Amino acid sequence: MSVRAEFAIGTDGLVLAETLQSFPGVKLEVGQVARTREGALKCDLWVTGVETEAFIQELGGDSTVRSANRLSEDGSWTLLSTQVVGDDVRSLYAALIELDGQLLSATCEGNQWFVSFRFPDRDALGRFEEQLRNTEPAVAVESVDSGGNKRGEPDPDGAEPLSDEQQEALQVALRAGYFTVPRRANLGDVADELGISGQAASERLRRGLVQLVETQVGEQTRKH
The tens-digit pLDDT sequence of the chain (224 residues) is 788 888 888 888 788 999 999 998 999 999 888 888 777 889 999 999 999 999 999 999 999 999 999 998 888 889 999 999 877 787 888 888 899 988 888 999 888 899 989 898 999 999 998 888 777 667 877 778 775 443 333 444 445 566 777 788 898 899 899 988 888 888 888 888 888 877 778 878 887 887 787 766 654 443 33
Stated pTM of the model:
0.64
Domain interval for residue 40:
3-146
Q: Cβ–Cβ contacts within 10 Å for residue 133, how many?
A: 12
Domain identity same for 180 and 218:
yes
Q: Per the domain annotation, does 156 fall within a domain? A: no
- The answer on 88 and 184 residing in a single domain is no
Is residue 23, in this structure, part of any structural domain at all? yes
Give a yes or no: residue 211 inside a domain: yes
- The verdict on 100 and 74 lying in the same domain is yes
Question: Are 186 and 87 members of one domain?
Answer: no
**Cα–Cα distance list, 107 to 18, 112, 159 (Å):** 17, 8, 23
- The total number of structural domains in the chain stands at 2
**193 and 103 within one domain:** no
Q: Which residue, 113, 146, 179, sits at the end of a domain?
A: 146
Q: What is the SS3 assignment for 129?
A: helix
